[in-house]
Copies of this chain bind each other. A is one copy, B any other.
Amino acid sequence: MYLEKINGPEDVKKLSGGELNILAEEMRSALLQKLSKRGGHFGPNFGFVEATIALHYVFNSPIDKIVYDISHQSYGHKMLTGRKDAFLYEEHYGDVSGFTNPKESEHDFFTVGHTSTSVSLASGLAKARDLKREKGNVIAVIGDGSLSGGEALEGLDFASELESNFIIIVNDNDMSIAENHGGLYKNLKALRESNGECPCNLFKAMSLDYIYVAEGNNIEKLIEAFHQVKDSTHPVVVHINTVKGKGYTFAEKNKEDWHWHMPFNIETGESTRNFTGESYSTLTCDFLMKKMKEDPTVTMITAGIPTSMGFTEDKRKEAGKQFVDVGIAEEHAVAFASGIAANGGKPIFATHSSFIQRTYDQMSQDLCINGNAATLLISTASIYGMSDVTHLGIFDIPLISNIPNMVYLAPTCKEEYLAMLDWSIEQNQHPVAIRIPCNGVISTGANIKFDYSQLNQYEVKQTGNRIAILALGDFYQLGEQVAEAIKIQIGEMPTLINPRYITGIDAKLLESLKANHEAVITLEDGILDGGFGEKIARFYGSSDMKVYNYGFRKEFIDRYKVEEVLKANRLTPEQIVEDVVINR
């Protein structure tokens, strides 16, 4: 086996053409084994095996620097840069992360997990190289799906200004996570169909030099192309046409399902883990499909991740013009939603907590200054969300809740979520964001009639004494546990409150608590800094009320275990009782 002997790019360079092809098959085989057991990004990695080999064959990493966009296609790179064991041996599967990471290897230059960043990041490496009067190639790899993102387009536009060596590999597999959306993809198609000869060329329109490689899974052709651009003295795009999921029939056939895949049976392609029961994505999709049928102005918008809200291909088709996937373009999505609302439509834009970060200015300027009634659904906004450092869901409260005019709601159960969603779609006064619970679908059976237009009215779920607990969103159930634990400890039931609104204070209620409470506990599933609890601490700052804020420390955590993070932040009921009751 060749792969076993690859300890770095220098070992790739020793192989002959035929051996490189065998190496490619070995890499695919290792990927297939590992991903079938652990899950992960499938399609992009399978499609980029040959290009990875060719890159390391032609260039001299780490003197030549390769930056992978979003790094969904970097597993092969990891295999060839001293990290093969993490793909060959099950006991080492956990040794590497799913993204590039400078702490893992000198061949990785950035920790990357969001799309559309490679061209800008790599252009900075190139600029520093030039300032230091050093040599070497800088290579940005970017997938076609990532090209629609504003940062990528800004970077492409800027690249020609470098006027020095800079190589952009466009890995075009004619797919985003789902199908591509946007006019530029017709240009990529025209380029593919004309063997790169089509005179109208997005990259040339950005003043970049350009070459095309039709056989993007042919190592020999790729080596030839990379040799051609190596040591180029000006920026150049190498547009390569690859097959997403290449080499595994199921993945080649159903590219969307196999972009990322959970563990599966290699023979049948069937998932070995099955999630049954309700999820907030199917609940949301079902609810919105119904709303769309009742009202032709209800429009669901996603930005490249339609299935994360249950909008599979058939649902998208069924929704027709009332479903819009804008591609990876969150900024556009929010401004577009604001425009729809301004003209009397009812837009809903859904994305992950980590990706809503890409559109702060649009939330503030395009949406909230204008007070347009669009609905934003924020998913995986929780410590129970994605645990990679680049996809954390614990920063959206400071991000969203401090924008004036925004109403950010935190439902505590399924019924409350749907009531809030329904209200938000039907009202026309406020920009609204809803923080979808992430601790499983908890159904209380409640029949909720509350009018959420009465902003910032908290709900007292249980009236008690001495201590009041403000338990926000999906930490409400933790609040129930804390209440129980306190009751056991002090023999008296504390007050339990569902704040409902992240964006405002129920001053009247908080004021009234002073009469028979000495302490308030706040619980939130996000970082404490800039969050909900601090607003409560400010409110009570000059009073005698003691305030205990619980949430997470402001830090980037990576591949964590939820239970450990909760403990480290003193977020178990026992720890809270200890702090607030026993040791106070």
Contacts and interface: CB of A to CB of B under 8 A. Distances in A.
Contact of A342 (B114, B124, B151): B124
A184 B207 contact: yes
A76 interface: no
A148 B157 CA distance: 7
Interface residues of A, number: 119
Given A187-B206, A200-B200, A404 B556 contact: yes
A149 interface: yes
Contacts of A117: 335, 362, 365-366
Contacts of A491: none
Q: Looking at A183, A341, A344, which has the most chain B CB atoms within 10 Å of its CB?
A: A183
B161 A182 contact: yes
A127 interface: yes
Interface string A430-465: 000000000000000000000000000000000000
Interface in A84-116: 102, 109-114
A366 B297 contact: no
A357 interface: yes
Contact of A327 (B149, B158, B297): B158
Interface string A343-372: 111010000000001101110111011100
B542 A546 contact: yes
B182 A160 contact: yes
A201 B530 CA distance: 46
A225 interface: no
B208 A204 contact: no
A542 B548 contact: yes
Interface in A137-175: 148-151, 153-161
A326 interface: yes
A497 to B, nearest CB: 17
A202 B202 contact: yes
Contacts of A399: 360, 399, 402
B129 A343 contact: yes
A305 to B, nearest CB: 15
A402 B120 CA distance: 24
Interface string A195-238: 00001111011111000000000000000000000000000000
A340 interface: yes
A122 interface: yes
Given A125-B342, A181-B161, A369 B335 contact: no
Contacts of A343: 65, 109, 124-125, 127-129, 132
Contact of A357 (B132, B199, B361, B556): B361
B370 A364 contact: no
A219 to B, nearest CB: 29
Given A336-B124, A584-B542, A326 B200 contact: no
Contacts of A546: 541-543
Contacts of A335: 117, 120-121, 124, 151, 155
Contacts of A519: 542
Contact of A368 (B131, B183, B548, B556): B556
Contacts of A338: 110, 121, 124
A516 B204 CA distance: 69
A337 interface: yes
Interface of A: 65, 102, 109-114, 117, 120-133, 148-151, 153-161, 181-184, 186-187, 199-202, 204-208, 296-297, 299, 321-322, 324, 326-327, 329, 331-332, 335-345, 347, 357-358, 360-362, 364-366, 368-370, 389-390, 395, 398-399, 401-405, 519, 527-531, 533-535, 537-538, 540-543, 546-549, 554-556, 580, 584
Ranked nearest first, the 7 interchain pairs of A and B with the lowest CB-CB distance are A124-B339, A150-B150, A183-B207, A120-B335, A128-B343, A160-B183, A530-B530
5 contacts: A111-B370, A124-B335, A150-B331, A187-B204, A402-B530
